[in-house]
Amino acid sequence: MEIAERKESGVVVLVCRGRMDGHGSAILEQAAREALHDDDRSLVLDMKDVPYLSSAGIRVMLALQKRLRERGGKVALAGTGDFPRKVLDMAGFLSIFPNYSSVEEAVRVLGRAEERSSLLIDLQSPFVEKNGTRMSAEPGSPQPAALKVWGDLDLVLHSRIDDQHIAVIPFSGTQYALGLGALGRNPAEVLPFLGEMVVLHGSLVWLPTDGNDTPDFFTPVKDTGEVKIFSGYSVSLDGPFREYVILESLSRDGMPLQEIYSLLIERAKEHYRDYRGVLAVAWWAVLEGLQSQGVCRSPIPENAPPEGKSIMDPSMFDSWFEHGTTPRYRGDTMVGFGIAVDLDMAARSFDQTSLDLLISPKEGEEKGKSSIYSHTHAVVFRNVAYDMSASFEVQVKKILGQGEFVDMRHLLLDTRIRKAKIGVAPVSALKHV
């Protein structure tokens, strides 16, 4: 069995050549797994050159049909030959799969369904095209939001976190947060493993600095107070999202995170009268390619760089940070939390002491090439359908509870996004807890 993949009018087409027996069906299953991304809903199997079909192939086709129907889509067959058609009929599944005379006809019918779905969404929240994207927005809450900061960023950057500088963050009441932390019984236990962390709807995901480069996570059903998040530094959202921006890149290569943050800041200036230069941002997106960079050593005194250097010092950087600059996780789902700061506007709106809670002076100087500073932690899941019409909060909970967990990383700005629904909150105050 040989299988070629292409995409037409939003419909995935798999051109199958050969026997769809036990061996061939395994090849089909793998090909479909790689071809169908989390934002795909329609699939056409070109059966013109498939002379043989058995129950092994039908099993894979049924599994694909079930998966796509759950997303509001379907699997269709095109050019099915005489013997495979008889097998489907005898097995009682001929009516389960729409069968078209050609791939072109199948794509035309399924493509119209994709267009109708897009049109319905567009009528609910009209899109505008701007700077290489289609954008729309759904209203959130007009109530103000703030960022709460635990810890001292300078202690992190100079690797001076000890048991006197560890905060306990409650699971209850913490919907979105990012920073440096771990799960454990007491500060002494977690200090050697403090790593990049993110809290999403009360679920903690973190990357222990134990040398294994494998994230861990915990989703509590209730908060008994017996299990705690210990953090050397964290930033959490206190308040609601003002709106939910729906965004789709018009480029097949997706859009870099940096450009999306620039668009969100530009939108904030135009639409939020209380915008002061800082945004809190929650992500639900489909990736085109993730790139990452994160701390790989716990910033405790035992690991401190010599001569009082910062871990951001060029001579220290490579030994302190992992670099994942090869794009990965194309077509997978990402949920995360971040902050975006318009440095010029924020400097006019907040005092420097408050801004130093988010951006150290040295880091700001090193990033001086850009007028925007951002910090984003995200978790990657797989096999979760992307439906932009779904409620943001409901979908994030669903992903955390049902998605296939893949990875967690601190994102580089070169990470590229295919489409996203983004919770955006203009920050009115910075609170040091």
- Residues facing residue 255 across a β-bridge: 417
Q: Please name each of the domains of the chain with its CATH number.
A: 2-124 (3.30.750.24), 128-432 (no CATH)
How far apart, in whole angstroms, are the C-alpha atoms of residue 16 and residue 57?
12
Cβ atoms of 297 and 408 closer than 8 Å: no
Q: Residue 368: its pLDDT value, please?
A: 46
pLDDT for 210-256, tens place per residue?
999 999 998 887 777 777 889 999 999 999 999 999 999 999 899 99
Phi (first) and psi of residue 175, to 5 degrees: -90, -45
Torsion over CA of 394, 396, 401 and 403, rounded to 10 degrees?
A: 120
Q: What is the mean pLDDT of residues 285-312?
A: 95
**Residue 401, Cα to own-chain centre: how many angstroms?**
15
State percent of the chain over pLDDT 70.
Answer: 94
How far apart, in whole angstroms, are the C-alpha atoms of residue 277 and residue 427?
8
Lookup: tokens for 336: 């995360």
Parallel, antiparallel, or unpaired for β 404-410 and 333-342? unpaired
Phi (first) and psi of residue 38, to 5 degrees: -70, -10
Torsion over CA of 244, 245, 248 and 249, rounded to 10 degrees?
A: -140
Which amino acid is located at 71 in the chain? R
Q: Residue 112: its pLDDT value, please?
A: 78
Predicted TM-score of the model (pTM)? 0.84
Quote the mean pLDDT of the chain.
90
How far apart, in whole angstroms, are the C-alpha atoms of residue 220 and residue 113?
39
How far apart, in whole angstroms, are the C-alpha atoms of residue 47 and residue 84?
9
Which helix (H) or strand (E) is 53 found in, with range? none
When pLDDT is cut at 50, 70 and 90, the band that residue 114 belongs to is low
Which helix (H) or strand (E) is 325 found in, with range? strand 321-328
